[in-house]
Amino acid sequence: MRPVNEQLELFESIFNNDDVCPLVLSALTSPDELEGNKKNQESSLSISKMILENLDNMHFVSEQKKAFVKKYFERVPDIVKQYEQE
């Protein structure tokens, strides 16, 4: 696995690209990827936690983009919870 700083640089470039960002975010929380798949659920939660913990260390094209990313990743635990098997 890549060091956190390299991962953050990758995510910065993704979040600041309006063509790629929606695709990556939707893939991260896709029902097809999460439903009954504990590994993908844990991965989504882990990525979400890392992004939120390092949000202030990331560079965004605007404060609106930063707020959007923050709000999205704050919702990831609730999204993942929908797809956990009982």
Range of the domain at 25: 4-82
Please tell me the pTM assigned to this model: 0.88
Tokens, residue 84: 């956990």
Q: Is the pLDDT of residue 1 over 80?
A: no
If one counts the domains in the chain, the total is 1
pLDDT at position 35: 92
Per-residue pLDDT band for 4 (boundaries 50, 70, 90) equals confident
Per-residue pLDDT band for 55 (boundaries 50, 70, 90) equals very high
Minimal CA–CA distance to 53: which of 69, 33, 39? 69
pLDDT at position 12: 95
30 phi and psi angles, rounded to 5 deg: -70, 130
42-66 mean pLDDT: 95
